[in-house]
Amino acid sequence: MKTLTRSFSLLLALSVFSCVTINIYFPAEQMRGAADKIVEEVWGDRNTPAEETPLPVTPGSSLMDLLRTTIVHAAQDINVSTPEIRAIKDAIKQRAGALIGYLDAGNLGIGQDGLLVLRGTEGINLKQRGEVNRLIKEENSDRLRLYKEIAVANGFPDKASEVQGIFAESWQNQASKGWFIEKGAGSWVQK
């Protein structure tokens, strides 16, 4: 009888522990926080603060909860401080001052993909056109590199496009009043 009780106890313990599933997922909310922080660093006080979303509250576990299959999400801190990422952020931040004038004037807009788009050349001379085209090329290149480096640094190198999508929302949400943002294919609105 002792052997039967031990066997049953061991079987019960194994069934409880085997019901735990660990899902490693793309940490969208953590990525959104990292994106908002980076955009805020780049644009400083010119941007509008993003709304914070409260974290969900989880009730305590009962014995029945332990017996059910439990899904555990592995929490992941987003690493945005590798040497490569810091260098890219610094380059973007250094360029921001030159870009803000063109964004304020409406020559540039923030595309749906979060990249800069030349909307028009009204009010800028030939030399400035060359400068703005160079700035757009450098900025967009650095933004794409940033998304790739963040994805690689955090162990999901195949998710750079998801990182870009989250950053695109942040760039648009934190755009200053009067800047143009793309809402649809070629449809622009002034914030």
Whole-prediction pTM: 0.72
Total domains present in the chain: 1
Q: Residue 150 has what pLDDT?
A: 95
* C-alpha–C-alpha distance, residues 138 and 135, integer Å: 5
Q: Residue 144 has what pLDDT?
A: 98
Q: Residue 4 has what pLDDT?
A: 62
Q: Residue 163 has what pLDDT?
A: 96
Q: Residue 55 has what pLDDT?
A: 38
Domain encompassing residue 157? 2-190
Q: Residue 132 has what pLDDT?
A: 96
Q: Residue 14 has what pLDDT?
A: 54
Q: Residue 21 has what pLDDT?
A: 45
Q: Residue 57 has what pLDDT?
A: 42
Tokens encoding 51: 């709304």
Tell the burial category of 9 from Cβ atoms under 10 Å away from its Cβ (0-12, 13-18, 19+): exposed
Q: Residue 77 has what pLDDT?
A: 78
Contact between residue 180 and residue 120 where contact means Cβ atoms under 8 Å apart: no
How many other CB atoms sit within 10 Å of the CB of residue 152?
Answer: 18
Please report, in tens digits, the pLDDT of each residue of the chain (191 residues total). Answer: 667 666 656 665 555 555 544 445 678 889 999 999 999 999 886 544 444 334 344 445 444 444 444 333 344 578 888 999 999 999 999 999 999 999 999 999 999 999 999 999 999 999 999 999 999 999 999 999 999 999 999 999 999 999 999 999 999 999 999 999 999 877 999 99
